[in-house]
């Protein structure tokens, strides 16, 4: 509990202050490789299970909300947003894809992607074993949409 308090204080004052202490509970970190296909999964605000198959490291450019989706799957915004490294993980991929399609903002508070944000928090701070070189892809908007059922 004391360690959690210290971490909470640390993150409250850090550049990645959006990371919430509740997300520091133990979760799995699964690495994904740029260039490979992965399935993003999240639950939207309507309670539907959404899935989308995409390429890790793909570059969708900016979405309608102005977010940077230049390195999908990287923990942190785009290819160059604040991060401890270029960590590519399943949970960060799911959060990026959710955010792109749902026009997400506000991290954990987003109604569609907040849970995916929380699931990606441990990857963002501890995904060192998933560090990869960023691919360099031209921005191309996806031609398909998620399936939500």
Ligand X SMILES: *[C@@H]1O[C@H](CO)[C@@H](O)[C@H](O)[C@H]1NC(C)=O
Which spans of this chain sit near ligand X (rule: CB under 6 A)?
64, 101-103
Residue 106, SS3? coil
Provide, rounded to whole angstroms, the least separation between the CB of residue 94 and ligand X.
16
- Residue 37 C-beta: closest distance to ligand X, Å: 23
Question: Under DSSP, is residue 16 helix (H, G, I), strand (E, B) or coil?
Answer: coil
- 87 or 101: whose CB is closer to ligand X? 101
* Nearest-approach distance from CB 106 to ligand X, in angstroms: 14
SS3 category, 41: strand
Residue closest to 69 by CA, chosen among 89, 93, 90, 53: 93
Q: Which is nearer to ligand X, 17 or 106 (CB)?
A: 106
Smaller CB distance to ligand X: residue 75 or 104?
Answer: 104
Residue nearest to ligand X (CB): 64
Give every CB contact of residue 1 below 8 A, 6+ residues apart in sequence.
none
């Amino acid at each position: 509990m004391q360690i959690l308090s210290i971490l909470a204080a640390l993150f409250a004052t850090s550049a990645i202050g959006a990371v919430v202490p509740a997300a520091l509970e133990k979760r799995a970190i699964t690495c994904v490789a740029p260039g490979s296909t992965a399935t993003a999964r999240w639950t939207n605000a309507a309670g539907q299970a959404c899935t989308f198959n995409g390429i890790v490291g793909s570059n969708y450019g900016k979405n309608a909300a102005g977010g940077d989706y230049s390195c999908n799957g990287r923990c942190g915004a785009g290819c160059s947003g604040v991060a401890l490294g270029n960590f590519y993980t399943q949970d960060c991929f799911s959060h990026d894809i959710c955010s792109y399609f749902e026009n997400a903002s506000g991290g954990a508070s987003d109604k569609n992607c907040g849970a995916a944000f929380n699931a990606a928090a441990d990857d963002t701070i501890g995904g060192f074993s998933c560090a990869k070189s960023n691919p360099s892809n031209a921005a191309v908007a996806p031609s398909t949409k998620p399936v939500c059922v």
